[in-house]
Amino acid sequence: DSGVTQTPKHLITATGQRVTLRCSPRSGDLSVYWYQQSLDQGLQFLIQYYNGEERAKGNILERFSAQQFPDLHSELNLSSLELGDSALYFCASSVGDRDDQPQHFGDGTRLSIL
Amino acid sequence: GESVGLHLPTLSVQEGDNSIINCAYSNSASDYFIWYKQESGKGPQFIIDIRSNMDKRQGQRVTVLLNKTVKHLSLQIAATQPGDSAVYFCAEAPSGSARQLTFGSGTQLTVLP
């Protein structure tokens, strides 16, 4: 158990809809990262937050947004969903944002768009 | 763009043998590298990491080797066990203020009885 909790485990919805994925980092970790894992693109970095502030953006679509709350949990919001958004979405956390500490991953949310 | 890639997509080894999983990276600015193991239905699990000022690092049954000259990373698993069967990813992080990881495409390791 990595200590990173993601909910829900599975999500099935339709095109055009909006969903929110939730992540609770490991106790003591201030950084939260979101990744997307799809069959054709592999694991790709989306966005990072550190202590409530956005730190880095990767291949995140404009239809997607995230935030980190004062209690350090994070949410990833996906809107105007398309079939191609079907993927596994992982959250990871680490202690800081600049130090060489490994990121620990949750077990992901599997998003299926019908 | 620059990316991390793997030489072999699949690897089958006999139980008890040693496994070697290779990874090539192309971003010369990367200075921190991690190996992850992913089992079906689970998230990537941290195995071992190495910083660019090191050539080798050992853990329990695992060793990571880093060759910066040829931008190559390898993971050695000693006495491979059935529980080692999984997909293994290498990941790199560039120096700088953020530590977003760039992942390789993964290698499926299958341990044969």
How many angstroms away from the CA of A66 is the closest CA of chain B?
A: 15
**pLDDT greater than 90 at residue A99:** no
Q: What is the pLDDT of residues A35-63, one digit of tens each?
A: 999 877 789 999 999 999 999 999 899 99
CA dist A107 and B38 (Å) reads: 10
Q: What is the pLDDT of residues B31-47, one digit of tens each?
A: 899 999 999 999 999 99
Calpha distance A21→A81 (Å, rounded): 13
Task: Give me the percent of chain A exceeding a pLDDT of 70.
Answer: 100
Average pLDDT over chain B reads 89
Amino acid at position A37, single letter: Q
Backbone angles phi, psi at A41, to 5 degrees: -110, -10
pLDDT of B13 higher than 90: yes
| Dihedral pair phi/psi, residue B84, rounded to 5° | -85, -10
Which member of B49, B101, B106 has the closest CB to residue A45? B101
Residue B96 has pLDDT above 70, yes or no: no
Task: Tell me: pLDDT of A15 over 50.
Answer: yes
Half-sphere exposure of B41 (CA within 13 A, CB side): 2
Which of A31, A100, A101, A109 to mutate: most B Cβ within 10 Å?
A100
Distance CA A48, CA A29 (A): 13
The answer to whether the Cα torsion of A55, A59, A63, A66 is positive or negative is: negative
